[in-house]
Homo-oligomer: A and B are copies of this chain.
Amino acid sequence: MTANLLIVGTGLIGTSIGLALRGQADVVLADSDDAAVSAAVARGAGRLWNGNEPVAHALLAVPPREVAREFARLHPLGRARTYSHVASTQGAVQQAVETSVGDLRQFCGSHPMAGRELAGPQAAAADLFEGRPWALCPSPQTLPQTVAATRLIAKLCGAEPLVLTPEEHDESVALVSHLPQVTASALAATLLGRAQQDAAPVRLAGPGLQDTTRVAASDPDLWVDVLSSNAAAVAPLVRALAQELAAAADRLDELAAGPADSSSARSAQALSDLLRRGNEGRRLVPVKAGKHDRDFVLVQVGVPDRPGQLAGVLVSAADAGVNVEDVRVEHLVGRPRGVIELLVHATALARARAALSAAGWDVLG
């Protein structure tokens, strides 16, 4: 008997792939952590692999730094015809495999653009990959049948396979994931540095600081690994941002020092240009399903800060058939009143406002 797929590593991603393939493929599972593989089997992600059973394809869902070692261990045993991995950086992993094994014909890098802040088989979900891009990053050596096997897994998981070179992939995640992480961490670190001199200013913080620093709470150990393995792609972006900010600091210095003349007008113009480019860049950020900010509008509702208000507002919206794409609660520090912001499609705005007002809510604006 030949299983269709061996998944090595039953964390969040490996177990989710097993769950997604349930009923579509015969999946066997392995993990160096017995508890993890038992949990994945118990959740129905596949059967326990006995270590000998041959498989059509082996998917290595282990941390980036372990992929090459795992491939070097499994490849000589000849249990699988083709191999893939799902690590969040591609170039460094491919290089490590090239160094340790050399032969990349049966090996294809890939990266499903999915995940969550939770980890482990318990957090896995069968629909984690549905509709999500799944980067396929074959090397020039990788055989077509190896790419085809990897693509099939992505398709069976409901994802949209997308062929990129490892370099293209690493450049992409450097921009949309790794740069924002470094930015938020550096901003929060700057806040810390100032607050150590004087803690008073932080009392005045509002939602702008909240949002901009949110991902600064991420796990440092995980992120040192991610940044280290993608350092070449992240470095120039961080440097470009540093230069943008250094230029802004120069313009601010000029405005602080100079009289209101044509030179200060040029400095103000440069800041205005930065803010406008920021507007434009922000409009590129997808909100949902390939849609962007410009398709959505905010409805703001003022509510007293008591349990159940948010639920009440959303029940009223649901009653009117309005799909709330996103919701934000702005708690003003120390105030007994909040503003609930509902993001709705522009075409639903009038209906949403009318329905909420009719239900007695304080619709603002």
1/0 per residue, CB under 8 A from B, across A265-283: the answer is 0001001101111111111
Question: What is the oligomeric copy number?
Answer: 2
Specify the chain B residue showing the minimal Cβ separation from A283.
Answer: B217
Distance in Å from the Cβ of A165 to the closest Cβ of chain B? Answer: 11
Using Cβ atoms and an 8 Å threshold, which residues of chain B touch A325?
329, 331
Give which listed residue, B117, B243, B281, contacts A213 with CB less than 8 A.
Answer: B281
Q: Is the CB of B277 within 8 A of A253?
A: no
Residue A78 at the chain B interface, CB threshold 8 Å: no
Using Cβ atoms and an 8 Å threshold, which residues of chain B touch A171?
198, 201
Residue A256 at the chain B interface, CB threshold 8 Å: yes
Residue A212 at the chain B interface, CB threshold 8 Å: yes
Using Cβ atoms and an 8 Å threshold, which residues of chain B touch A206?
113, 176-177
Residue A156 at the chain B interface, CB threshold 8 Å: no
Which one of A22-30, A45-53, A69-77, A218-226 is at the B interface? A218-226
Distance in Å from the Cβ of A346 to the closest Cβ of chain B? Answer: 15
Using Cβ atoms and an 8 Å threshold, which residues of chain B touch A334?
130-133, 160, 289-290
Give which listed residue, B192, B245, B314, contacts A284 with CB less than 8 A.
Answer: B192
A131-B335, A132-B333, A244-B189 as given contacts; A310 in contact with B285, CB under 8 Å: no
1/0 per residue, CB under 8 A from B, across A109-125: the answer is 00001101110001101
Q: Which A residues fall within an 8 A CB radius of B? A: 113-114, 116-118, 122-123, 125, 127-133, 135, 160, 164, 168, 171-173, 175-177, 179-195, 198-206, 208-218, 220-221, 223-224, 227-228, 231-232, 234-246, 248-249, 252-253, 255-256, 268, 271-272, 274-290, 293, 300, 302, 306-308, 310-311, 314-315, 317-318, 321-327, 329-337, 339, 364-365
